[in-house]
Structure 1
Amino acid sequence: MPDTAPDATHNTTHNGDASTHTSPTQALPPLLAGKKALVVGVANGDSIATGCARAFRLCGADVALTYQNDKARPHVEPIAQEIGAEMLLPLDVTQPGQMDAVFEALQTRWGRLDLLVHSIAFAPKADLQSGLLQSSAEGFAMAMDISCHSFLRLARRAAPMMTEGGTLFAMSYLGANKVVPNYNLMGPVKAALEASCRYLAYELGPQGIRVHAISPGPIATRAASGLKEFDVLLAHAASEAPLHQPIDTMDVGLTCAHLASPLARHLTGSTVYVDGGLNIMA
């Protein structure tokens, strides 16, 4: 279940000219050379998780990807081939045993892990679109389990493999901290996810493991289509963000690559906005 939100599997760096938007991927330094990265949440080539996987490979990391089920695999397999992923593994976080199998495969192949990206979220459509007040207990619990607690379950398994320290990333959205019309129950769920990142940063800091929530601006992904009037969010971001430039998945990936590198070795527990400055606007 790739991320269901404007951050939904939820970007490029700019050259200073507000009229030009380019991705500086031709000559990236090998900031992550030798690192082992697990990226969870790839649905297709437009996923935020895909941007992270591409950026990690461009910076020298070895990458493993997961796919949700047999229906999703044909959409993820070409991405694995494109980036030269070392492993492509099934993972539905609602299915007992699949998460253990993923980490057993990682342990067998690599023996350690350095980076983990959690870019999955889900809420039943009826609960997502009915407003928070009308959301069902079952729908809210499902959204919280898949979108938030699954990150904790992944972290619990990843931490023992991060023997040389590491970095964990979870994808959030501005609606965790401010009311975004039509984001509804995902707002409280993402708020819980961001709080979880802070508490994990505290608990895992002594092991040299850093944790960040990444909060991208609206990006047109398949999962984002689950939100009502998503085109309004995109238009608002384009007109109101100080940089007045669209965000794409490589922006998110390159930000994560930087935060996972030695250049950001003393940064942890933060929510990092990759939104052209939209979050500072009233």
Structure 2
Amino acid sequence: MDFLQLHNKNIVVMGVANRRSVAWAVAKVLLDVGAKPIYVFKDQALLEKNRALIGAAAPVVICDVEKDADLAALPAAVSAIAPEVHGLVHSIAFANYSEGLKPFHETIKKDFLQAVDISCFSLVEVANRLKALFSPDAAIVTMSISTTRMASENYGYMGPIKAALDSTVAFLAKSLSQEVSPHIRVNAVGAGLLKTSASAGIPGYIDAYLYAEKVIPRHQALDTSEVANTVAFLLSQRSSGINAQTITVDAGMSINYFDRDVVRRVTAARPQ
């Protein structure tokens, strides 16, 4: 049974960096259900790095969201592959700690603005560029985090940027429904801590990941495939009643920060 009804649907997928990327996990689910991913890579070098992963025949577009010329060429490049787009997966983010990790109040302006441009505004830009190609019931899904109110030092300024992304989802959903089609939907998946190559570059992330394993009720970390399955659901018409939302996927971590066993370990280890 084709429950998701995504067979033969054209889905633009942005953000495949390697086999551990959330975007690649999403693409695998889409391929499993018979959808047709159209991969967007930042540049030719990243494409070549991943060509064996996605397959020699996989349709590909090059677009660096920091380059106006690339964005202007995006609609024609996508339409040459598929005249209609049924979904968009926006799974790109970037943080440049050009002077090293600093306390939040010492954030470098140029780093912050570049991160906003790539991680948040690019969703607006790409949606606007592709609007003429969207099917009347197209679904857009972006990748957020499970909470933007937890001020984790090692995540730095990306927390506020993901908060901006969550707000952007709501405004973009309303704007597209008014100006393009009333049935277009925009949602985000707020993922808990994942074992990806991008996250591995965040200072202190491994310790946070190990802590998450202890706090999650099942004592097992969130798997990238669980996030990918949620993205696929949001791309499908099975989720037609969900719009302008950030769906938290954290395996229940948010209800269990004060797990008694974890609290006992911490209090037992404190200096007397």
How far apart in 2 are the matches of 1:180 and 1:122? 17
Deviation at 1:134, TM superposition (A): 0.9
1:79 aligns with 2:53: yes
Q: How do 1:29-178 residues align onto structure 2 when only pairs under 5 Å count?
A: 29=3, 31-81=5-55, 85=58, 87-126=59-98, 129-178=101-150
Task: Between the two structures, name the one with larger relative contact order (CA 8 Å, sep ≥ 6).
Answer: 1
Distance 1:130 1:260 in 2: 37
Match of 2:225 among 230, 244, 250: 250
Tell me how far apart the structure 1 counterparts of residues 237 and 95 of structure 2 sit (CA, whole Å). 36
Which SS does the other structure have where 2:153 is aligned? coil
Deviation (angstroms), 1:127:
5.8
TM score, norm. by length of structure 2: 0.87
Structure 2: gaps spanning 5 or more residues: 258-272
Question: C-alpha separation between the residues in 2 aligned to 1:134 and 1:226?
Answer: 20
How far off is 1:132 after superposition?
1.3
Distance across 2 between alignment mates of 1:223 and 1:100: 28
Name the % identity.
28
For 2:240, give the aligned amino acid. R
**Residue aligning to 1:19:** none
The RMSD of aligned alpha carbons is: 1.9
Q: Which residue of 1 aligns with 2:235?
A: 260
Task: Provide the C-alpha distance between the structure 2 equivalents of 1:279 and 1:97, rounded to a whole number of angstroms.
Answer: 42
Check 1:228–1:145 CA distance in 2 against 1; reply closer, same or farther (3 A cut).
Answer: same
Larger Rg: 2
SS at match of 2:85: coil
- For residues 200-256 of structure 1, the C-alpha deviation after alignment (integer angstroms, 9 at most, x for no partner) is 122223511111111111112221122111111111111111232222222122111
Decide whether aligned partners of structure 1 residues 118 and 127 sit closer, same or farther in structure 2, where only a CA change above 3 A counts.
farther
SS at match of 1:44: coil
Alignment correspondent of 1:189: 161
Query: 1:33 touches 1:60 (CA, 8 Å); kept in 2?
Result: yes
Instruction: Tell me what 2:260 maps to.
Output: none
Match of 1:20 in 2: none
The ranges of structure 1 where at least 4 consecutive aligned residues each deviate by more than 6 angstroms after the TM superposition are none
- Identify if the C-alpha distance between structure 1 residues 128 and 280 changes in structure 2 by more than 3 Å, giving closer, same or farther: farther
Letter in 1 for 2:216: A
1:13-34 deviation line (CA, Å, top 9, x unaligned) = xxxxxxxxxxxxxx97452012
What is the TM-score when the length of structure 1 is the normalising length? 0.84
